Chains A and B, each alone.
Chain A
Amino acid sequence: QKEVEQNSGPLSVPEGAIASLNCTYSDRGSQSFFWYRQYSGKSPELIMSIYSNGDKEDGRFTAQLNKASQYVSLLIRDSQPSDSATYLCAVNAGNNRKLIWGLGTSLAVNP
């Protein structure tokens, strides 16, 4: 059974700190990795996609992928209260397979 695992949290960080969210996956053939943000009562919103080992930065967000260790992480620098949401990790193993979703990590940024 292919799985994606995330710590459910809640992860609580003070405003201005770095929030670190982690995700592990079981299928070594996975090729595409995504982070989505979901506010309560809203639909998931794409934050970042990453396909190669290493870091990918976009504004305050950095995604890190390590295929050998089968984990992908998301760092949020200078966390803001507006970053408080559930962060979903999703993995696509390729070959027309659907995304496998983690259950999400709840992040609370305290003013």
Chain B
Amino acid sequence: NAGVMQNPRHLVRRRGQEARLRCSPMKGHSHVYWYRQLPEEGLKFMVYLQKENIIDESGMPKERFSAEFPKEGPSILRIQQVVRGDSAAYFCASSLRTSGGSFTDTQYFGPGTRLTVL
């Protein structure tokens, strides 16, 4: 079984450009989560999506960042007009579903996308 897939693994952008990060969840998983991790820091939750719905975007900056998880295709995290402070590792995780106290809410992580803004 294929795990969570993310691409690209490494992405270099110049200030002001757009970055698009893709995440394909594990087969059968309908819940996707995006996290950001700065060097030597903890995981920071950004957004939680189900197919065609944003469930919780409380961790996402209000400007320049957006996420989607269409009915068909991967989830996309989009960063417009990138700045140097956006340089980080962006991880995607997926779960079967979320129901407290069950194995179905276990999150499995992809390998991450390392974004470098020059």
Residues of chain A at the chain B interface (Cβ within 8 Å): 31-32, 34, 36, 42-46, 49, 51, 88, 90, 92-99, 101-104
Residues of chain B at the chain A interface (Cβ within 8 Å): 33, 41-43, 45, 48, 55-56, 91, 93, 98-103, 105-112
For residue B105, which residues in chain A have a CB less than 8 angstroms away from its CB? 32, 92
- Scoring A32, A88, A103 by chain B CB atoms within 10 A of each residue's CB, the highest score goes to A32
Q: B102 is contacted by which of A32, A36, A46, A99 (Cβ under 8 Å)?
A: A32
CA distance A32 to B99 in the complex (A): 9
Q: Is the CB of B108 within 8 A of A46?
A: yes
For residue B33, which residues in chain A have a CB less than 8 angstroms away from its CB? 98-99
CA distance A6 to B100 in the complex (A): 22
A32-B105, A43-B110, A101-B43 known; A92+B91 contact, CB < 8 A? no
| Chain B proximity of A63: nearest CB distance (Å) | 13
Q: Is the CB of A93 within 8 A of B106?
A: no
**Can you show 7 pairs from A to B with CB atoms below 8 A apart?**
A31-B100, A32-B100, A42-B112, A43-B112, A46-B106, A98-B33, A102-B42
